[in-house]
Structure 1
Amino acid sequence: MDIAALITWVVTALGGFYMLGTWIRRGGIRQQQTGTSRLPVPVVFGHFALAAIGLVVWSVYVVADKTALAWTAFGLLLPVALLGFVMLARWIPVHRERATAGAPPAVSAPGAEGTVPAERHFPVPVVVVHGLLAVATLLLVLLTAPGVGGS
């Protein structure tokens, strides 16, 4: 089960890294000054940093098989999940605005990054799969830490 958790964590991280790159590329950091983006920089980078640190800790656990590392990784996942839910709650209204307008995400011209929230460019399937795999990862880590299913 530890390898399954590692695989789901890595695939989840790839989706998250894609969304982070999209958000940065579309001007998410600069949009904090104008209030266009609804995703606060500390939340975005806190989510990313804690998830990355947790993934490293989990990778070491898979090699070393030390229970304390599994619980540490689980402890790191809890604030990652909380920050993820905060971002999801802030992304949903942006997505609904686009859906009610019936228009695809606007293509930002160079220098026009401030007109459309950067997170509006997140593909819905990526957001959904990222969230589902994150929940699966959390459950797999929670089951593996106490030794359910062996390691």
Structure 2
Amino acid sequence: MAVAALIVWLLTALGGSTMLGLWLARGGMRAPVDAPPTRLPVPVLFGHLALAVIGLVLWIVYMVSDATALAWISLIVLLVIAALGFAMLARWLPAHRAAAHGGAAPAEPGPPEQAIPLPVVVVHGLFAVVTIILVLIAAIVS
């Protein structure tokens, strides 16, 4: 179960890296002057990223050491990561809806998060849920 959780966690990280890359490429940290600023709070975004990396490292250390406490700590970290992810999702949805309904004129760029496609967000979220479930199961059985 721990290996399955690691694999799904890595796939979740791949989706998150894709979204971060698209956001940065669109000017997430420094949007062009003529574009609206990002709606994603930068501290929340990078807090989500930092905790995801820390949690993943804790999970790998748990797998190597078989210290049950690390499995539970990883789960708690995952829950905080998920809360930050939901906060960003709530801020991303209006930008996605505006882009989907033609909210900005074609000549006007939208906020950087409009570059993040819905399927990537959905798959990232689904993999995150599966990761949490697998980590919980692994923590219970360890």
- Find the counterpart in structure 2 of residue 23 from structure 1: 23
Shift of 1:82: 0.3
Q: Give me the whole-angstrom Cα distance separating, in 2, the residues matched to 1:50 and 1:107.
A: 37
Which residue identity lines up with residue 111 of structure 2 in the other structure? P
Unaligned runs of 5+ in 2: none
The answer to whether structure 1 residue 39 and structure 2 residue 33 are counterparts is: no
- Which aligned pairs between 1:136-147 and structure 2 lie closer than 5 A? 136-147=130-141
- Which of 122, 130, 133 is residue 128 of structure 1 equivalent to? 122
| SS of residue matched to 1:142 | helix
Return the offset for 1:75: 1.3
Give the aligned partner of residue 111 of structure 1.
Answer: none
Match of 1:119 among 108, 113, 129: 113
| Residues in 1 aligned to 2:14 and 2:127: alpha-carbon distance in whole angstroms | 11
Shift of 1:55: 0.4
Q: Distance in 2 between matches of 1:39 and 1:102?
A: 18
% identical aligned pairs: 58
RMSD over aligned Cα, in angstroms? 2.2
Does the residue aligned with 2:38 lie in a helix, a strand or coil? coil
Partner of 1:69: 70
Runs of 4+ in 1 over 6 A off after TM superposition: none
For residues 124 and 94 of structure 1, the distance between their equivalents in structure 2, rounded to whole angstroms, comes to 11
TM-score (normalizing by structure 2): 0.90
What amino acid sits opposite 1:72 in the alignment? I
Using the TM superposition, give the Cα deviation of residue 132 of structure 1 relative to its aligned residue in structure 2, in angstroms. Answer: 0.3
Aligned residues: 139
Per-residue CA distance 1:15-52 (angstroms, 9 max, x = gap):
10111111112111124x98621001001000000001
Give the residue type in structure 2 aligned to 1:11. Answer: L
Instruction: Note the C-alpha offset of 1:93.
Output: 0.6
**Partner residue of 2:14?**
14
1:32-90 CA-partner distances (Å, limit 9, x unpaired)? x9862100100100000000100011011112111011011111111100000001111
CA distance in 1, matches of 2:96, 2:4: 31
Q: CA deviation at 1:107?
A: 9.0
